[in-house]
């Protein structure tokens, strides 16, 4: 356990200043249905569009934009409001009019798929990307994946087609497998690794060769760890879902996977939390998934 914590502290020191890219798209607080936020980030500049309502119930369009700080983790700006916008069925009448702002808005991203939003007046809400089609594990894990990690100066990439649903292991909610490449991934729902997706890769005899660990979210790029078979050695890893369960290419993910040769260690915040899990716990999860794989391949 001490070795795990020391290793993850070193990773934290190396990655604390590294930037990550928050997911582009619709964000919301699942406990606050009816309100949402459209977020886009390009080269360290964020645009937040909020489609909200005034106290009397009439619609109000807000926009905040500007340069981010702290490695694309933070932004503070004014929440500008606009009126006189375009009628949906009318001829183009020009841009809406900026009529001031309702105060300051700030956002702090803790990962690519999690943020704390502070609105004018001090109201704080926890937001995440809106999961309207990908789904939760095990179904959310289905698709084609690429995992990339560095061993010294050598970059290694592995691809898996997770298409076969298997029964849950003793510690998870259902294994999604690539039976050709003898790999399976599962969200752990009990034990020390609960909340972590563990992937196990086995040989023809059913022996674990290595694995991966990461936190599942709506984003289709994931930071985590490559894990040795005994659970005691780890390396920073970056995973990409490049094709969805329905066969649609995630072009952003596939492009990133082609150019991220040495970026596996650049996004480590989720990996830091994995330091609370012992090597023995990782090994236990790897072996439990391996049992499910071998039960259908032998």
Cα distance between residue 250 and residue 259, in whole Å: 15
Residue 10 scores a pLDDT above 50:
no
Stretch (H or E) spanning 51: strand 45-53
Residue 266 scores a pLDDT above 70:
no
Residue 230 scores a pLDDT above 70:
yes
Mean pLDDT of 237-248: 83
Q: List, in order, residues 6 or more apart from 238 with CB less than 8 Å away.
A: 147, 148, 149, 221, 222, 223, 224, 260, 263, 264, 266, 267
* Two structure tokens written together for 183: 């790999």
Return the number of other C-beta atoms located less than 10 Å from residue 64's C-beta: 22
Which of these, 247, 70, 236, 254, lies nearest to 150 by C-alpha position?
236
In the chain, the domains with their CATH numbers are 25-129 (2.40.128), 134-297 (no CATH)
Mean pLDDT of 145-155: 91
Q: Which of these ranges, 13-27, 113-127, 154-168, has the smallest mean pLDDT?
A: 13-27
Alpha carbon separation from 295 to 59, 94, 179 (Å, rounded):
56, 64, 11
Mean pLDDT of 12-28: 65
pLDDT of 175: 97
CB 175 within 8 A of CB 185: yes
On the CB side of 166, how many CA atoms lie within 13 Å of its CA? 26
Mean pLDDT of 227-241: 91
Query: Which tens digit of pLDDT belongs to each residue from 89-128?
Result: 999 988 889 999 999 999 999 888 889 999 999 999 999 9
pLDDT-based confidence at residue 28 (cuts at 50, 70, 90): very high
Residue 40 scores a pLDDT above 80:
yes
Helices and strands of the chain, counted as H and E runs:
4, 17
pLDDT of 3: 41
Query: Which tens digit of pLDDT belongs to each residue from 212-221?
Result: 998 887 656 6
CB 156 within 8 A of CB 264: no
Mean pLDDT of 227-243: 90
pLDDT of 74: 96
Q: Phi-psi region for residue 12, left (φ > 0), alpha (ψ -120 to 50) or beta?
A: alpha
Task: Give the whole-number percent of the chain exceeding pLDDT 70.
Answer: 81
Mean pLDDT of 171-177: 96
Query: Which tens digit of pLDDT belongs to each residue from 273-285?
Result: 565 566 677 889 9
What is the overall mean pLDDT for the chain? 83
């Amino acid at each position: 356990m001490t070795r795990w914590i020391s290793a993850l502290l070193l990773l934290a020191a190396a990655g604390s200043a590294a930037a990550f890219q928050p997911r582009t798209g619709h964000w919301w607080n699942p406990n606050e249905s009816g309100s949402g936020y459209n977020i886009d980030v390009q080269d360290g500049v964020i645009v937040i569009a909020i489609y909200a309502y005034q106290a009397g119930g009439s619609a109000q369009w807000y926009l905040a934009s500007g340069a981010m700080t702290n490695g694309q983790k933070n932004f503070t700006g004014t929440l500008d409001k606009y009126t006189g916008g375009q009628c949906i069925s009318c001829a183009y009448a020009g841009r809406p009019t900026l009529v001031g702002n309702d105060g300051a808005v700030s956002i702090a991203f803790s990962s690519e798929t999690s943020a704390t939003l502070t609105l004018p007046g001090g109201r704080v809400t926890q937001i995440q990307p809106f999961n309207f089609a990908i789904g939760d594990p095990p179904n959310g894990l289905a698709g084609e994946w690429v995992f990339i990690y560095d061993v010294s100066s050598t970059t290694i990439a592995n691809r898996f087609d997770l298409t076969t649903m298997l029964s849950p292991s003793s510690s998870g909610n259902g294994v999604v497998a690539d039976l050709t490449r003898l790999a399976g991934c599962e969200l752990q729902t009990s034990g020390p690794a609960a909340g972590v997706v563990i992937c196990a890769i086995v040989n023809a005899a059913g022996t674990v060769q290595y694995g991966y660990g990461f936190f599942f979210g709506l984003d289709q790029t994931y930071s985590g760890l490559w894990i040795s078979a005994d659970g005691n050695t780890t390396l920073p890893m970056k995973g990409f879902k490049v094709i969805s369960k329905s066969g649609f290419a995630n072009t952003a993910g596939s492009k990133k996977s082609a150019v991220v040769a040495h970026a596996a260690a650049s996004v480590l915040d989720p990996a830091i939390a994995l330091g609370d899990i012992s090597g023995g716990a990782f090994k236990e999860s790897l072996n439990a998934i391996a049992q499910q794989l071998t039960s259908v391949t032998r």
